[in-house]
Amino acid sequence: MTEIRIKAHDGGEFAAYLATPPGGAGPGIVLIQEIFGVNQVMRDLADGFAKQGYVVVCPDIFWRQQPGIQLTDKTEQEWGRAFELYKGFNEAKGVEDLVATLAHLRGLKGCSGKVGSVGYCLGGKLAYEMATHSDAEANIGYYGVGIEGALGEAAKIKRPLMLHIASEDQFCPKDAQQKIRDALGKLPLATLHTYDKCDHAFARAGGQHYDASAAKLANDRTAQFFKQHLG
């Protein structure tokens, strides 16, 4: 709907896509991008959450490398660039930028003050990091990449977390999935859902591994989770 600017904690500022609900007010959602930047897929997701009644901000977390990246998953060249950005991404700074986004969103006119986060792919890992490093009211990760390497932080989870796991995720193999289940499965604040026979990005509309039924199930669970914890 529109672009806003957010100040980073260590100086400088970055862009973010803002989508507002039809009524103009509601709880907030920090939407965390995949490795393709704040592209049309992310803007469509933001608009979709806004239609559900949320004030949504999707920040450009690659701004420290190259501001304004918008890639697709349709060409080998774009995949190559996306992986370059992913490998060069400073995760700690990225989390700082997301925390700054969270604070900015809470201060926006129309935001109720209750804010959650939801992320996909890289953003799925960062949504887990928001659960361990921020005071967001609820956090949801779709097929996060690398969560198994950050499970030592699980004790810091103080707010509800939901993870959508693809059983055949090429970027999160079976042993990694088991580590996640072993570490988080018994935590009262963590809810884990596994989608059988689904690959990475099964909820990316138009993507190679899109699974309409699994995506609907995951998205319905997400909607209910946010309604419960942000409403």
Signed CA dihedral, 48, 50, 54, 55: sign only: positive
Give the three-state DSSP class for 28.
strand
What is each CA distance from 104 to 14, 64, 93, 108, 139, in whole angstroms? 12, 19, 16, 7, 17
pLDDT confidence band for 133 (50 / 70 / 90): very high
pLDDT of residue 136: 98
Residue type, 153: E
- Domains of the chain, by residue range, sit at 2-230
Per annotation, catalytic residue among 60, 97, 104, 200: 200
Instruction: Please state, for a pLDDT cut of 90, what percent of the chain lies above it.
Output: 99
Which helix H or strand E contains 85, and what residues bound it? helix 76-88
> How many distinct helices (H) and strands (E) make up the chain?
6, 8
**Mean pLDDT within 159-180:** 98
- In a 13 Å sphere around the CA of 222, the CA atoms on its Cβ side amount to 27
pLDDT confidence band for 106 (50 / 70 / 90): very high
**Mean pLDDT within 182-186:** 95
Global pTM exceeds 0.85: yes
**Mean pLDDT within 164-187:** 97
> Encoding tokens for residue 26?
């509601």
Per annotation, catalytic residue among 97, 169, 199, 211: 169
CATH architecture of the domain with range 2-230: 3-Layer(aba) Sandwich (3.40)
Q: What is the mean pLDDT of the chain?
A: 97
Task: With a cut of 90, say whether residue 1 has pLDDT above it.
Answer: no
List the alpha helices (DSSP H) in 89-195: 91-106, 122-133, 174-184
pLDDT digit string (tens) for 62-84? Answer: 999 999 999 999 999 999 999 99
Catalytic-residue membership of 200: yes
pLDDT digit string (tens) for 15-52? Answer: 999 999 999 999 999 999 999 999 999 999 999 999 99
Catalytic-residue membership of 169: yes
Cα–Cα distance for residue pair 127/43, rounded to 1 Å: 18
